């Protein structure tokens, strides 16, 4: 059970005069010191990540209790309180116009309330976990299906797993943690992996998991994840600041390149970066760089690059995709790789028998994303993250798609390009740290040691 750090304050009220009881003072100080060591706050928290092949989505397990969709775009942590019959002795309703409710304003790609606090619920039936009169009712979303709805905000104590960066530690109870109760609208029709009961809101919003965990446990306001490439192993999500150690004993915490996280005033909860150019095998693409800039002032979000956790393959504005595919084909042909007919949903495919393999994936042209940052920041995409094998490995396709019809960003970075990479979202310094592939170090995202150290 987590004990708040205020129990370890140096100034402790006591009815005993230390001056008149020196031996007692020594014993008190010794026991107090030992107590503080035993119950000090963790520096980091841990959650295993699972990949579901049927939905191409990722989920995390929070404190061995709740399986939640990994969602960078959602701002309010929510749980389906209908099918899960949610109940708890520490459950407390959040009233509208309260301080917690005022903090629950959200603005992402699916929802934007303009900074206004959520409204008050009015129920037209008997009270339930998903509807209570005069309660705080924030909007919630599921980015995987681009759907939102309203909810009822509560607080409760939630267990999370601590870590030293090498192994799992003890369970920590986080008190008075805000979350939303919802019906099953956002998880119907197999729209999330089996067993998922809610959404792990990982956006930049004040009420989202990263900021709330940091505030409740005095953690660094950052999180790092590593997405597994298959469903056979677990990836890992760290909250806070710690070593990042994978088997056999490789610490990747000092291996990051950094690029600023941009802020779009019309979508401040989301994670955006500045791509300044794209190259294939060293050849710079002739693209309209103005497309890569965030436009504002029109009321709609257009241009720029957003990072997602619910789209599988990176989407590109059509002219950018055409230029990438053209240059990738030319570079592939120069390597002796032959074309193959397109395989939906991919437009650019190759004969798998003409593609050899390396420890970094298929031996195909390298794609470089040049990013804003000091000293030249480059996200290099090797074969493991640039092409996908289909039709029993007979065909290899460029794992990029034209952007969806209603998508307004020029680039939407998908999870295929992030798998077996380290992605660190540092909210305190507004920067993204990344290591584009662990494969070059003979590691994968499934190499974290989940054997407990306690």
Task: Look at residue 154 in the predicted model and tell me its pLDDT.
Answer: 93
Share of the chain above pLDDT 70, in %: 88
Say whether 253-437 and 44-246 share the same fold.
yes
* Cα–Cα dist 8/446, whole Å: 37
Residue 40: which pLDDT band, with cuts at 50, 70 and 90?
A: low
Query: 454 or 216: which carries more pLDDT confidence?
Result: 216
In the chain, domain spans? 44-246, 253-437
* Cα–Cα dist 339/433, whole Å: 36
Tell me the average pLDDT of the chain. 87
**C-alpha to C-alpha distances, 133 to 32, 150, 252, 344, nearest whole angstrom:** 45, 14, 49, 49
Q: Which value, to the nearest 10 degrees, does the dihedral of the CA atoms of residues 147, 205, 255, 230 take?
A: -20
Burial (CB count <10 Å: 0-12, 13-18, 19+), residue 206: middle
Residue 8 pLDDT exceeds 50: no
Task: Look at residue 299 in the predicted model and tell me its pLDDT.
Answer: 47
- Pinpoint the alpha helices (H) of 86-133: 99-102
Which residues, including other chains, have CB under 8 Å from residue 427's CB and lie 6 or more apart? 204, 210, 211, 214, 221, 222, 261
* Cα–Cα dist 317/404, whole Å: 9
Share of the chain above pLDDT 90, in %: 67
* Cα–Cα dist 294/303, whole Å: 5
Task: Look at residue 191 in the predicted model and tell me its pLDDT.
Answer: 85
Tell the CATH topology of 44-246.
Cathepsin D, subunit A; domain 1 (2.40.70)
| CATH class, 253-437 region | mainly beta
> Is-contact 141 423, C-beta < 8 A?
no
Residue 301 pLDDT exceeds 70: no
Three-state SS for 367?
Answer: strand
Task: Look at residue 29 in the predicted model and tell me its pLDDT.
Answer: 37
> Is-contact 161 45, C-beta < 8 A?
yes
Task: Look at residue 115 in the predicted model and tell me its pLDDT.
Answer: 62
Residues 285-294: tens digit of each pLDDT: 999 999 999 9
């Amino acid at each position: 059970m987590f004990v708040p750090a205020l129990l370890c304050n140096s100034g402790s009220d006591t009815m005993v005069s230390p001056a008149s009881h020196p031996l007692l003072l020594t014993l008190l100080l010794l026991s107090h010191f030992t107590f503080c060591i035993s119950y000090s706050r963790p520096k980091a928290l841990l959650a295993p990540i699972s990949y579901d092949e049927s939905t191409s989505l990722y989920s995390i397990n929070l404190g061995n209790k709740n399986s939640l969709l990994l969602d960078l775009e959602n701002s309010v942590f929510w749980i389906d309180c209908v099918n899960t019959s949610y109940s708890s002795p520490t459950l407390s309703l959040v009233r509208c116009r309260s301080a917690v409710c005022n903090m629950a304003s959200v603005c992402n790609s699916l929802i934007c309330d303009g900074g206004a606090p959520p409204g008050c619920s009015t129920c037209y039936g008997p009270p339930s976990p998903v509807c209570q009169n005069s309660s705080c009712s924030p909007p919630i979303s599921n980015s995987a299906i681009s759907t939102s709805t309203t909810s009822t905000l509560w607080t409760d104590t939630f267990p999370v797993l601590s870590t030293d960066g090498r192994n799992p530690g003890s369970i920590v109870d986080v008190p008075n943690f805000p979350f939303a109760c919802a019906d099953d609208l956002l998880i119907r029709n197999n729209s999330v992996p089996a067993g998922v009961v809610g959404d792990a809101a990982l956006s930049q919003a004040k009420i989202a998991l990263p900021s709330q965990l940091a505030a409740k446990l005095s953690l660094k306001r950052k999180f790092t994840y590593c997405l597994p490439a298959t469903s056979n192993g677990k990836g890992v999500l760290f909250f806070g600041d710690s070593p990042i150690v994978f088997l056999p004993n490789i610490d990747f915490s000092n291996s990051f390149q950094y690029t600023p996280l941009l802020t779009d005033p019309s979508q401040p909860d989301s994670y955006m970066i500045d791509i300044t150019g794209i190259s294939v095998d060293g050849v710079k693409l002739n693209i309209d760089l103005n497309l890569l800039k965030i436009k504002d002032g029109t009321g709609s979000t257009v241009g720029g690059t957003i990072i997602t956790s619910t789209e599988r393959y990176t989407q590109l504005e059509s002219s950018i995709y055409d230029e990438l595919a053209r240059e990738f084909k030319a570079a592939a042909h120069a390597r002796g790789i032959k074309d193959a007919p397109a395989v939906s949903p991919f437009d650019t495919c190759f004969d798998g028998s003409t593609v050899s393999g390396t420890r970094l994936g298929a031996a195909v042209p390298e794609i470089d994303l040049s990013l804003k940052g000091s000293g030249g920041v480059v996200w290099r995409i090797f074969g493991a993250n640039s092409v996908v094998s289909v039709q029993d490995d007979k065909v290899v396709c460029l794992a990029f798609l034209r952007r969806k019809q209603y998508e307004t960003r020029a680039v939407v970075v998908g999870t295929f390009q992030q798998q077996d990479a380290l992605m660190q979202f540092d909210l305190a310094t507004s920067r993204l740290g990344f290591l584009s592939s662990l494969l070059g170090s003979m590691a994968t995202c499934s190499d974290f040691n989940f054997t407990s150290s306690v």
